[in-house]
Structure 1
């Protein structure tokens, strides 16, 4: 068995240590004792983008905001489905994660950060959400293990009534607010409805081989 090697670590101000691990060609991003993502399990992160893109089919030049760079699964899936006139902004709060994407995990990213449709922001995704009114066709969030602020307590604001109201304002009519989670959360579904969204829950396999753990994706549409 090939042992895991710690490539880098980041001590966050309001959360556990974030670590990049490697075992052969496999990568893992750990938060304390929790695995946030693994390069072998990309199914649900890809679905986060593909479900949103399917809902946006036929719209004009799409402006998409992705919160959380991770291992680039969501970004690559979006770029594979969006036309040449789309614009995708990725907001990543942790600078080291951007460094990992351009360094140890560069092969995994496959040059997608250099796609002319991509703008990469080293920022909290809440900032471009709060700054916008009717600007985005889609907002995709994969910044935590779900709407509970596991990675950092500051993420709670994104899923609060105030955060959902900001996302609602930031979207164009018919726009999509899509959220990834490792598990269901009925209370969050109700909050989406109270914020004005038409929300549905989409259970999705973690693996692209359609087996193993199920994750949850919320598809919430602004009427």
Structure 2
């Protein structure tokens, strides 16, 4: 972990259609910052792995499911999904081209663990909200980690994903019995209620203890069969 006197080193800074994205090194950690908001770092990955495991386990043995991972981030979710033999296909939706580049041939490539080269993996360089609204594809599980939570969105427009219309779009692209898994930096009973009101079933929250403060969580819900 970085010590208190270490200053972050900016490795790359990009201006894109959605604002500024920065990759920096702080001690041994790599950090992604979007428009001045801390997104994630390479310190742990437990919650990202739980995001994938909880979704796959909730599918209850469905053969070769098609997973959508919303947000490439530092690659923990993708690497964990690709290391699991269960998924038949893995689609990663990432709108920031810089993040994809940092994985393909940059400092984040070790954290992808070769998962981008897995023949099951496809990268869609597009906005997740637009993808859910416009795609004709369907999925067995949506593993979403594009914000700090339903109540703490990173960019304007993302909040629509967690509203009734956005959740209806998620249900549209999920196959019957499919699973919606949403990472959050804090629990949200309000979001659980929104999921139920949107028609999802088996709504529950799994916690990931952290060293200090409230636990990270994964919100889980199932589209009715």
Superposed pair shares fold, TM > 0.5: yes
Normalised by the length of structure 2, the TM-score is: 0.87
Shift, 1:141, TM fit:
0.6
Alpha-carbon separation, structure 2, partners of 1:78 and 1:14: 27
Q: Over aligned residues, Cα RMSD in angstroms?
A: 2.1
- 1:60 and 2:63 correspond: yes
Normalised by the length of structure 1, the TM-score is: 0.88
Alpha-carbon separation, structure 2, partners of 1:157 and 1:82: 33
- Of 193, 202, 220, 2:196 maps to 193
CA separation of 1:193/1:82 partners in 2, compared to 1, >3 Å: closer, same or farther?
Answer: farther
- 1:39 and 2:42 correspond: yes
- Do 2:78 and 2:112's aligned partners in 1 also have CA atoms closer than 8 Å? no
CA separation of 1:156/1:82 partners in 2, compared to 1, >3 Å: closer, same or farther?
Answer: farther
1:126-137 to 2 correspondence within 5 Å? 126-131=129-134, 135-137=138-140
Q: What's the secondary structure of 1:153's corresponding residue?
A: coil
1:218 equivalent in structure 2: 219
2:96 equivalent in structure 1: 94
The ranges of structure 1 where at least 4 consecutive aligned residues each deviate by more than 3 angstroms after the TM superposition are 10-15, 31-34, 131-134
2:142 equivalent in structure 1: 139
Alpha-carbon separation, structure 1, partners of 2:194 and 2:108: 36
CA separation of 1:172/1:81 partners in 2, compared to 1, >3 Å: closer, same or farther?
Answer: same
Alpha-carbon separation, structure 2, partners of 1:18 and 1:158: 21
Shift, 1:222, TM fit:
1.1
- Do 1:43 and 1:204's aligned partners in 2 also have CA atoms closer than 8 Å? yes
1:168 equivalent in structure 2: 171
Tell me how many residue pairs correspond in the alignment. Answer: 217
Alpha-carbon separation, structure 1, partners of 2:31 and 2:85: 28
CA-to-aligned-CA distance 1:75-120 (integer Å, 9 cap, x gap)? 111122243x610100001111111112121122221111101000
- Do 1:134 and 1:172's aligned partners in 2 also have CA atoms closer than 8 Å? no
- 1:5 and 2:9 correspond: yes
- In structure 1, list runs of 5 or more residues that go unmatched: none
Shift, 1:212, TM fit:
4.4
- Do 2:21 and 2:98's aligned partners in 1 also have CA atoms closer than 8 Å? no
CA separation of 1:188/1:168 partners in 2, compared to 1, >3 Å: closer, same or farther?
Answer: same
Alpha-carbon separation, structure 2, partners of 1:129 and 1:73: 22
Q: Greater relative contact order: 1 or 2 (C-alpha under 8 angstroms, separation 6 or more)?
A: 1
